[in-house]
Structure 1
Amino acid sequence: MNARIEQVVTSGKLTLDDTEYDVENNAYIVGDDDEVIVIDPAFSAEAVLKQVGEREVMAVILTDGNEHHLAEALEVAAAGEEDEEDWAPVALHRADRLLWRDYFGRLAKEESDEDDAKALRSLEPDIWLEDGGVFEIGGAQLEIVHTPGHTPGSVCVISEQLGALFSGDTLHRGRPGSIGGAYEDLRKQLNSIGALITPLPKDLRVLPGQGEETTVGEEDARWESWGALAREGDDDE
């Protein structure tokens, strides 16, 4: 196996439900000296592509459909190629299709050229991610696990060969993942996290979408205590 993991940290502002948050994002480049898969580009496609260099981007995997990922996905997929047939496929879970349609629909409304607007409205991901789906790169396998809660289509990516769990914004170090502390469906997210990490090796690295890495064992030990967050949310309703 020749695959390795590289990290690119970018930052920017993300608006959710009319509230603007400052967000720092971890994008991951997985592959070898020739080919890579990019997981969760955000805020700066240029920074991600600089790290990719001359290597070929084979796929762009989005662990959720929030706009900071969508805004950079196509540029990373194109990787400087003018012909769309040469672009890498963009992969997203179907349950986040509404987020995709909303984002590109807004772009279409801002487009003065009707043909370009129509093209934006008709855009779809090239690959619909499914639970148990597998990508291969550099001798490593990347398995998709559907983990709804942060968004309906949130996924995590597990690589046994690389000893890593790419947890996106489903799970951060020390807490369930969120944007600015806001949760879409915390109970569902906690259930997804529990089902995800319980059977995994405790020493497996967890590489989150924001913040520092951790391990499955560290987060498994904290998981039950997070139920208090969900109960607080219930009390606020």
Structure 2
Amino acid sequence: MAARVDHVVTSGTFSLDGGTWDVDNNVWLVGDDQEVIIIDAAHDPDEILAAADGRRVVAIVCTHAHDDHINAAADLATATDALVYLHPADEPLWRQVYPDADYQPLHDGHEFEVAGTFLQVIHTPGHAPGAVCLYAPQLNALFSGDTLFAGGPGATGRSFSDFPTIIDSIRDRLLTLPADTVVHTGHGDATSIGAESPHLDDWIKRGH
């Protein structure tokens, strides 16, 4: 059976720089009836386990280490015996949540395979230093974390973020993908590369 994309929304909070906000997160599961990769272990390990539905978890991949994207990672790893992967540039953010728990480092160009499908890691710093996206050309899909949303780039107003850097990441690494690539985001609705690429200059003019 070919790989498919499953989806669950979990709810909780995001905390950074002394503030806390209520958030709903997209958790993406890519695989078939036997095995699955989980992208962003957010808030509720039990709900994510239910979505995995008994399948072998090949890996738990974090698009970045803001607490709302990793706060279920350790419990989920324990429950599934899977390894957690994160770009090491997000080490300071990871340690705010997990002073003692470790992760496996991933890097630009890293590939994961699940159900005969390859997911390629694209390092896209800006929202966070270690932010990555996962591109699955066989599925015509990009899992963008908080780098690219329907309507623009991820937020860059808090610690460890930078607006010019996220613009460079989106322009140079994402908008070069095929226009019909579906963008599965970390929060909110999906979009496509073709829907977002005409607006790059507007984002730059807005400066946020």
TM-score for the superposition, normalised by structure 1: 0.83
Mind listing any 5+ residue stretches in structure 1 that lack a counterpart?
82-86, 106-120
> Aligned pairs, how many?
206
5+ residue gaps, structure 2: none
Give CA deviations for 1:176-231 in whole Å, capped at 9, x if unaligned.
123xx84521111111011122321100100000110000001111112101232x
In 2, Cα distance between equivalents of 1:20 and 1:170:
20
After the TM superposition, which residues 18-167 of structure 1 pair with which residues of structure 2 at under 5 Å, given as runs? 18-79=18-79, 87-105=81-99, 121=100, 123-125=101-103, 127-167=104-144
Of structures 1 and 2, the larger Rg is shown by 1
Residue of structure 2 equivalent to 1:111: none
In terms of fraction of residues, the more helix-rich structure is 1
Q: Aligned to 2:180, which of 188, 203, 210?
A: 203
Are the aligned partners of 2:4 and 2:30 in contact in 1 as well (CA < 8 Å)? yes
Moved runs in structure 1, 4+ residues, more than 3 A?
none
Structure 2 counterpart of 1:226? 203
Q: What CA distance in whole angstroms lies between the structure 2 residues aligned with 1:43 and 1:92? A: 17
Give the corresponding residue for 1:2: 2
* Aligned residues with identical type, % of pairs: 41
Quick one: distance in 2 between partners of 1:100 and 1:198?
28
Q: Give the superposed CA RMSD.
A: 1.4
Matches within 5 A, 1:168-183: 168-178=145-155, 182-183=157-158
Contact 2:25–2:69 under 8 Å retained in 1: no
- Contact kept? 1:27, 1:40, Cα under 8 Å: yes
Residue 28 of structure 1: how far off its partner (Å): 0.3
What is the SS of the residue equivalent to 1:166? strand
- Give, as a single letter, the amino acid of the residue that structure 2 aligns with 1:94: P
